[in-house]
Amino acid sequence: MQSVIAAPENESLLVRQAQADAAAFAPIYEFYFPRVYNYMRYRVRDPQLTDDLTAQTFERVLANMHRYHANLAPFGAWLFSIARNVIGDHFRTQKRRRWLSLDALFNHAATDPPPETRADQSDQQQRLLTAVSALPERERDIIALKFAAHLNNRQIAGVTGLSETNVAVILYRTIRQLRGLLQEET
């Protein structure tokens, strides 16, 4: 069976080992951590909260490894479903919606462009984030899965339960809507 989320070739063996012995979970964690962390970073504003939610995700995954069944869903889809549930639980308890942390964008290491270029990029990012934050929850989630977790349309479909075609249409329309909103501002 082909995995919905790109995975190590020996993932099914690693999952079975992790189900028997929690210490065998390390390679799975190392593979999925960057993708889950990026997904969380796109969904919340606070770097510390991103760390906490990512940790909660892997705690839930590890605690529920015995419940995972390969015949029901690929492991990556199951893991990202848990990540989405962690985000949803957080938003429900906070009674507010948060989005991409500007600190996360500005505080990462990068080559230093000239100040005017950085100012222009900062302005563009702010406009984009404002436009993205105005999107409905489903579209924000799909944008985050596409551009933060770097999932392709098939993988997003596996995680969200939508068809691959539906994901493509939603992405196309959402990106077109974002371009229109950004062009109106300029």
Q: What is the CATH number of the domain that holds 103?
A: 1.10.10.10
Counted domains in the chain: 1
pLDDT above 70 coverage of the chain, percent:
85
104 assigned to some structural domain: yes
Is 44 within a domain? yes
| Cβ atoms 41, 104 nearer than 8 A | yes
Give the CA radius of gyration of the chain: 18
Judged against a pLDDT cut of 90, whether residue 83 lies above it is answered with yes
In this prediction, residues 44-57 reach a mean pLDDT of 91
Give a yes or no: residue 2 inside a domain: no
Residue 4 belongs to a domain: no
Contact of 80 with 66, CB cutoff 8 Å: no
Instruction: Please indicate, yes or no, if residue 123 is contained in any of the structural domains.
Output: yes
Is a pLDDT exceeding 90 seen at residue 171?
yes
The pTM assigned to this predicted structure is: 0.60
Residue 7 has pLDDT above 70, yes or no: no
Residue 3 lies in a domain: no
- Would the pLDDT of 135 be above 90? no
Q: Is residue 171 part of a domain?
A: yes
- How much is the pLDDT for 46? 84
- Identify the domain containing residue 91 by its residue range: 11-185
The reply to whether 168 falls in a domain is: yes
Take residue 107 and report the two structure tokens written for it: 């505080």
- Classified as helix, coil or strand, 174 is helix
